[in-house]
Amino acid sequence: MAVVGLRPMILAFAAALTCALLAVAPAAAENPAHQPPFGPEPLASLTPVEPPDRTPPGFELSGVEAIAIADGTATVREERAESPGMKPRVATRGDDRWQVDYFDGGTDVAQVVIDDATGEVVEAWRNQQVEVKLARGYEGAVAGSVSEAWIWIPLCLLFVLPFFDPRRPFRLLHLDLLILLAFSVSQFFFNKGEIVWSVPLVYPVLAYLFLRMTIAGFLPKTRPGPLVPWLSIRWLLLGAVALAVFRIVLNVVDSQVIDIGFANVVGADRIAGGEGVYDGQFTTLIDRGDSYGPLSYLSFIPFEQLFPWGGGLEELPAAHAAAIVFDLAVVGLLYLCGRRLREGREGRDLGIALAFAWLAYPYTLYALNSNGGNDAFVAALLVAALIFFSSPVKRGLAIGLGAAVKFGPLALAPLFAAGDGERRIRSTLVFGAVFVAVWAVVLLPLLPDGGLREFYDRTFGYQASRGSPFSVWGLEPSLGGLQDVARVFPVLLGAALFFVPRRRTALQVAALGAAVLIATQVGSTHWFYFFILWWTPYVLINAFATQERVTPEGASKS
Domains and CATH numbers, the chain: 43-136 (3.10.450), 149-549 (no CATH)
Examine the pLDDT at 9 and tell me if it is beyond 60. Answer: no
3-state secondary structure of 364: helix
The length of the chain, given as a count of residues: 558
Q: Rounded to a whole number, what is the distance in angstroms from the first to the last CA of the chain?
A: 11
Write the DSSP symbol of residue 87.
E
Q: Give the dihedral sign, CA 220/226/229/232.
A: positive
Q: How confident is the model at residue 8 (pLDDT cuts 50, 70, 90)?
A: low
Between 506-522 and 480-496, two packed helices, what is the crossing angle to 10 degrees?
160
For residues 90 and 99, give the distance between their C-alpha atoms in angstroms, rounded to a whole number. Answer: 6
Examine the pLDDT at 13 and tell me if it is beyond 80. Answer: no
Helices (H), 88-191: 128-131, 149-160, 172-181, 183-191
Summarize the confidence of residues 161-166 as an average pLDDT. 98
pLDDT confidence of residue 555 = 67
Examine the pLDDT at 340 and tell me if it is beyond 80. Answer: yes
What's the CA dihedral at 106, 109, 115, 116 to 10 degrees? -30
**Rounded to an integer, what is the distance from CA 247 to the centroid of its chain?**
16
DSSP 261-306: HHHHHHHHHHHHTT--SSSS-S-SSSS----S-HHHHHTTHHHHHH
Give the DSSP H/E element, type plus range, for residue 475: helix 472-475
Summarize the confidence of residues 539-547 as an average pLDDT. 98
Report how many helices (DSSP H) and strands (DSSP E) the chain contains, helices first: 26, 7
The percent of residues in the chain predicted with pLDDT above 70, rounded, is 94
Summarize the confidence of residues 397-403 as an average pLDDT. 98
Q: How confident is the model at residue 20 (pLDDT cuts 50, 70, 90)?
A: very low
Summarize the confidence of residues 199-226 as an average pLDDT. 98
Burial class (CB in 10 A: 0-12, 13-18, 19+), 353: buried
Summarize the confidence of residues 507-524 as an average pLDDT. 98
Q: Which amino acid is located at 392 in the chain?
A: P
For residues 400 and 394, give the distance between their C-alpha atoms in angstroms, rounded to a whole number. Answer: 10
User: For 212-216, which contacts have Cβ atoms below 8 Å and span 24 or more sequence positions?
Assistant: 212/176, 212/179, 213/511, 213/512, 213/514, 213/515, 213/518, 213/535, 213/538, 213/539, 213/542, 214/511, 214/512, 214/515, 216/507, 216/508, 216/511, 216/542, 216/546
142-177 as b/e, with b when 16 or more CB fall inside 10 Å?
A: bbbbbbeeebbeebbebbbebbbbeeeeebebeebb
The percent of residues in the chain predicted with pLDDT above 90, rounded, is 89
pLDDT confidence of residue 29 = 61
Spatial contact of 440 and 406, defined as CB atoms under 8 Å apart: no
Summarize the confidence of residues 533-556 as an average pLDDT. 92
For residues 49 and 182, give the distance between their C-alpha atoms in angstroms, rounded to a whole number. Answer: 48
pLDDT confidence of residue 287 = 85
pLDDT confidence of residue 21 = 44
Summarize the confidence of residues 111-117 as an average pLDDT. 97
pLDDT confidence of residue 24 = 42
pLDDT confidence of residue 466 = 84
For residues 100 and 93, give the distance between their C-alpha atoms in angstroms, rounded to a whole number. Answer: 10
For residues 401 and 434, give the distance between their C-alpha atoms in angstroms, rounded to a whole number. Answer: 10
Summarize the confidence of residues 269-290 as an average pLDDT. 94
46-48: strand order across its sheet? 46-48, 87-93, 97-104, 107-115, 121-126
- Range in 12-21, 223-232, 496-505 with the lowest mean pLDDT: 12-21
Examine the pLDDT at 7 and tell me if it is beyond 70. Answer: no
For residues 328 and 106, give the distance between their C-alpha atoms in angstroms, rounded to a whole number. Answer: 47
Examine the pLDDT at 280 and tell me if it is beyond 70. Answer: yes
pLDDT confidence of residue 140 = 92
Summarize the confidence of residues 190-201 as an average pLDDT. 96
Averaged confidence pLDDT in the chain: 93
Q: What is the phi-psi region of residue 94: left when phi exceeds 0, alpha when psi lies from -120 to 50, beta otherwise?
A: left
Q: How confident is the model at residue 465 (pLDDT cuts 50, 70, 90)?
A: confident
Q: How confident is the model at residue 30 (pLDDT cuts 50, 70, 90)?
A: confident
pLDDT confidence of residue 189 = 97
Spatial contact of 34 and 255, defined as CB atoms under 8 Å apart: no
**Rounded to an integer, what is the distance from CA 403 to the centroid of its chain?**
16
